Structure 1
Amino acid sequence: MTKLLLAAVLSLGGALAPQSASAIQWEKCPPDPPYPAPGEGIECGTVKVPVNWSLPGGEQIKVFVSRSKARKQKLGTLVTNPGGPGNPGATPVMMAPEEFPDEILDSFDIIGFDPRGIGRSHPIQCDDTLMTKTFTPPATQTAWNELVAHNRRLGESCRKKTGPLFDHLDTRSVARDVEAIRRALGAEKISFLGQSYGTLIGQHYAQLFPDKLDRLVLDGVVDHGLKTAAAHLLDGAQEAERVYREHLDPAQSRTVTLLFARADRGTLKHGKTTVTPYMLTVLLNQYLGTDHMEKVINSLATGKGEVPFSSSYAEIMHRAAWCQDFSVATTFAQFGKAMATARKAAPGIRYNSQSTNFVLGCQGWPAKVTNPPATPEVKGVNALIATYERDLATPKAWAGRVAARIPGAGRVVLPATGHITYRRYAVTDAQKCVHREVTGFLITGQGSGTTCGS
């Protein structure tokens, strides 16, 4: 095939069809400490995929796959991914009885996999001595330059230790790996349950292979249409402020305002720790909507009690995958302007620490954006989108935008604060409602679309 013809094929289909896939050789799963050994009906294997999907005959890696066989009459095959990016998706299926509802365990062969670069699928390797740097939004050009240089050194160490796969960790490539898994399974169609960053895998699979998709559930939705660092920072800050206003009463809000004023002056201390304004933002993002929030605020205000400070940084796979999926490279001046806009939109909490860390982690990252942001309409897919009313990790607005690109997609909203609505164990009536809606959709293909009470 000439280079010209190859380019034409890639532009039309987004990928060459996978080569003929060998059937998976299922066997006993390897130990996965600290988790218990997988039970009966759970087995593991591998699927070979090309490092670079534009060169399907080139270097190959093995993607690690797990399967929980349907306990009763099989209705179909359900491929799942729990997100991250960076979570080993084979592990939840190896613990399937603890992770999935009985109705799903009975009716589906459930397939989990460690995405490329993660877990047991050729994991990315980096210089450990460079992976400890915490993030504070740079206040000077010098600090910005140091951050960019550090990220570049870290990324180059990952490229050196990982090899060619380092430059092919984008989520569109992962979606093509899912198709290779489908072929190796011998399944005519699959259903897909994507949660958090796994929803981006599901969206790409639906765009590339809609005729191979039976049902699609997106839970805690990532919007691939965000094209700039400023867009990420603003969306994140607006959602963080919504959560802040929902969970803090007027007295607590006044206390936090005073805490920020002390932090701005450099006089907010807890024990030997001087609490910076951004450290306070990170704490609020971490504990808003939890039972620990009031205790943390009171401890900071009084100087008494423990405050569980945590480091603020971007995990290595957050950078390795996310930085190839989103165009967030920017300059110090542009970053400062975007942060000022975000702070104006979130006067109470100031910023969303996750979106800020993701953006900072990509500055200077050496890999190219191989899967740039896009907003194509997905046609001919039976989809259900589930979301919390308030979600610091994946704002509800993202779910609305993605739903608008999938004609006929159903919606299920859990009116609370959290991330990932669908789990085996449902406690509240609202959680049980989501459980019924998503399980029913996967089994019957029918979803009513609802807000699940309070």
Structure 2
Amino acid sequence: MTTLRAAARRASAVGLALTACLTATPAMATAATAAPDRDGGAAASGTGLDRYYHQRLDWRSCVLGTDDASGRELEKAGARCADVTVPLDYTDPKGRTLTVAISRIKATDTRHRVGPLLLNPGGPGGSGLAVPALIRPAMKEAGALYDLIGMDPRFVGRSNALDCGWSVGPSFRSAGPDRASFERQVAFQKGLADKCRATNGKVLPYITTRNTARDMDVIRGALGERKLSYLGFSYGTYLGTAYTQMFPGRYDRVVLDGALDPSRYNPRLFKGVEKENDQALADWAAWAAARHDTYGLGRTRAQVLATVNRIVEASSRRPLTVGTAPDVFRLDSSQTPFVINSGIASDTEEDRKALGEQVSVLAKAADGQQPTRLSEQFAAVLRLGLTSEGSPTGSIQSAILCGDVAVPRDPEQYWQDIERSRAAHPLFGPLTNNIGACAFWNRPREEPTQVRHDTPALIVAATGDPRTPYTGSVALHQKLPSSKLLTLKGANRHAIYGMYGSTCVDDTVNAYLATGKLPAKDRTCIKQND
């Protein structure tokens, strides 16, 4: 797949020629290592970080081998890649170092060049190296003004990828129907945390959003730039917010799509988003009911929702077997809600069809029918979530979230939250309130980033976003008085710009990126009128 929209579908299932070597000039290097700000982002000159900001980047081909499809797409788009050396621990710059992989597509309109635009697709822990080639077409004329910078954040992809050796992918699971199933989850999540600590304990304390933001500023300095523009989706909005707060004055244009409220950022991100998930599922159910002859899930919204409930109840009695060799999977009641939740992050026709096919397969399994051949997309979702193939993804997601903010450690608190939520949200309450590996992680070394500096950012949000709810974007907008809020009304969609096909949203973002001028006031786009 070679489009940003296709890349977004892959991400939401769990859930974007240079030959000269650049060297920071002394003037730029001095700016890069100025006095520290109140949030501890920058380091004072002479503390040992100068060599990172002054480093010389060796630009080369992005292709690592014959099977490197993303590298070939980058090369086709004119990108080159380099490794940026950063300290593992910014308080010990003479200690162990890491390499952070970056890519760059240079600006073609050199006369009006703005500077570098760093891109982050979210995650946490999403690989951003290939994003410049994916986002460039969506930017249209604005793309020619920027050096587009992709990055694999520390311990992601080509940047010393973390792998805890788990037998599963992301550890997002439902608590199931009763206390016994919850206790199995407690043991399961504790086992994941223990294994990650045993295999990677020495580096886990340094896998944080704040350290990634520090890496971003080293990248800015190594590129020889005074300011860095930024485009981030989902978790990438929190990373971008952290950067602006830790390094005020070092950013230019900032776009935050599907924003998180920094005050409620923590490993339990989905807690409190049950209503949005219920609505997204209900809207999909109405769509599926109108296509009963295709998917056989029910002729009314209520009948389709009853089918979903029947699937989950059946999986609580015995695991559902789906697929044919070599892709055979057994899903219990801790996993079927995860599959449903993964499919409602977007309300495009293509994504709704994919979920229709998936639920149809699960419904047949719930009825005891023989295993069904899975679509390539559904098999990929299950491999990523339920097998060791997804271990690196789950490992880095947990490491970042657990390393950023502490969560309650008493399982009883999670159980009480589950029971309080179950009555109103029987499907998603036990999922979004369940205990996770972070309950058994070591405590973070730093306090979370606080919003103390106003930022004139463009915040993009859909009213029906089931991942990062619209209320989070509104809250961030209120914390940043100089920002502007671009709302897409009527869409159950997570991440919009360049992915959803909203001309209104795309044109507004591109106008801001091209001119640096925010809209005069907050703007609302209507889904059906695009």
User: Are residue 292 (structure 1) and residue 336 (structure 2) matched?
Assistant: no
Contact 1:259–1:268 (CA under 8 A) maintained in structure 2:
no
Match of 1:340 in 2: 419
8 Å contact from structure 2 (residues 193, 437) kept in 1: no
Structure 1 residues 279 and 42 mapped into 2: Cα distance closer, same or farther (>3 Å)? Answer: closer
- In the alignment, which residue of structure 2 is the partner of 1:31? 63
Which runs of 5 or more residues in structure 2 are unaligned?
Answer: 1-34, 290-299, 323-328
- What are the within-5 Å matches in structure 2 for residues 414-429 of structure 1? 414-415=488-489, 416-423=491-498, 427=501
Report the CA distance between 1:262 and its aligned residue: 7.0
- Paired residue type of 2:257: D
* Alpha-carbon contact 1:386-1:412 (below 8 Å) kept: yes
SS in 1 for 2:249: helix
Which amino acid in structure 2 is aligned with residue 16 of structure 1? A
Q: 1:109 to 1:263 in 2, by over 3 A?
A: closer
Cα separation, 2, equivalents of 1:329 and 1:83: 25
> 1:322 is matched with which residue: 389, 397, 401?
401
Aligned partners of 1:275 and 1:132: how far apart in 2? 15
The 1:299/1:156 distance shift into structure 2, 3 A limit, reads closer
> CA offset at residue 275 of structure 1?
6.4
Displacement of 1:281:
2.3
Change (3 A) 1:410 1:228: closer
The 8 Å contact of residues 151 and 363 in structure 1, kept in 2 or not, is answered as no
Q: Which residue of 1 aligns with 2:54?
A: 22
In the other structure, the counterpart of 2:101 is 64
Distance, in Å, in 1 between the alignment partners of 2:396 and 2:471 is 25
Q: 1:256 to 1:46 in 2, by over 3 A?
A: same
Q: Higher mean Cα deviation, 395-404 or 139-148?
A: 139-148
The answer on whether the counterparts of 2:42 and 2:247 sit within 8 Å (CA) in structure 1 is no
Counterpart residue number, 1:434:
505
Task: Report what 2:32 is aligned to.
Answer: none
Preserved CA contact (<8 Å) 2:140 2:510: no
Classify the secondary structure of the residue corresponding to 1:417.
Answer: coil
Aligned partner of 1:253: which letter? A
Equivalent residue letter for 1:173: N
User: Counterpart in 2 of 1:413?
Assistant: 487
Alpha-carbon separation, structure 2, partners of 1:120 and 1:281: 32
Pair 1:255–1:119, CA change in 2 (3 A): closer
2:184 to 143, 147, 151: 143
CA gap of 1:331–1:26, structure 2 versus 1, over 3 A, is same
- Aligned residue pair count: 433
Alignment of 1:25-174 (within 5 A): 25-32=57-64, 33-35=68-70, 36=72, 38-39=75-76, 41-73=78-110, 74-93=113-132, 95=133, 100-127=138-165, 135-137=173-175, 139-140=179-180, 142-159=183-200, 164-174=202-212
**Per the alignment, do residues 133 and 81 of structure 1 end up closer, same or farther by CA in structure 2, a change over 3 Å counting?**
closer
CA separation in 1, counterparts of 2:317 and 2:186? 28
Distance 1:124 1:105 in 2: 32
- Provide the residue aligned with 1:5 in structure 2: none
Specify whether residues 373 and 40 from structure 1 end up closer, same or farther in structure 2 by C-alpha distance, changes over 3 A only.
Answer: closer
State the superposition RMSD in angstroms. Answer: 3.3
Letter aligned with residue 116 of structure 1: R
Matches within 5 A, 1:296-307: 296-297=358-359, 300-301=362-363, 303=367
- Inter-partner Cα distance in structure 2 for 1:12 and 1:177: 15
CA distance in 2, matches of 1:181, 1:403: 27
Mapped to 2, the partners of 1:222 and 1:187 lie a distance apart of 28
Amino acid at match of 1:437: T
CA distance in 1, matches of 2:163, 2:139: 35
Q: Distance in 2 between matches of 1:393 and 1:11?
A: 32
Alpha-carbon separation, structure 2, partners of 1:269 and 1:121:
37
Segments of 5+ residues of structure 1 without an aligned counterpart are: 1-7
CA deviation digits over 1:4-52, x for unaligned, max 9?
xxxx978663452442522442422231512325136422222222111
User: Against the structure 1 CA distance between its residues 169 and 187, is the aligned structure 2 distance closer, same or farther, given a 3 Å change threshold?
Assistant: same
Q: CA deviation at 1:61?
A: 1.7
Alpha carbons 1:65, 1:112 under 8 Å: kept: yes
What do residues 322-379 of structure 1 show as CA deviations (whole Å, max 9, x unaligned)? 11123224322111111223334435x43385x557x5132312x4323444542332
> C-alpha distance in 2, partners of 1:122/1:411?
36
TM-score by length of 1: 0.83
Distance in 2, matches of 1:403 and 1:378, equals 12
Q: Please state how far the C-alpha of 1:151 moved relative to its aligned partner.
A: 2.1
Q: Summarize the Cα distance change of 1:60–1:329 in structure 2 as closer, same or farther, 3 Å threshold.
A: same
**CA pair 59-10 structure 1, distance change in 2 beyond 3 A:** farther
User: What's the TM-score, normalizing by structure 2?
Assistant: 0.72
Q: Structure 1 residues 10 and 54, CA, compared in 2 at 3 Å: closer, same or farther? A: farther
Counterpart for residue 211 of structure 1: 249
Percent of residue pairs identical: 24
- Whole-Å separation in 2 of the counterparts to 1:438 and 1:133: 34
Kindly tell me: are residues 280 and 96 of structure 1, through their superposed partners in 2, closer, same or farther at Cα, counting changes over 3 Å? closer
- Which secondary structure state, in structure 1, belongs to the residue aligned with residue 273 of structure 2? helix
Opposite residue 376 of structure 1, the aligned amino acid is V
> In the alignment, is residue 257 of structure 1 matched against residue 306 of structure 2?
yes
- Deviation digits for residues 307-331 of structure 1 (CA, Å, limit 9, x no counterpart): 7583468711111111112322432
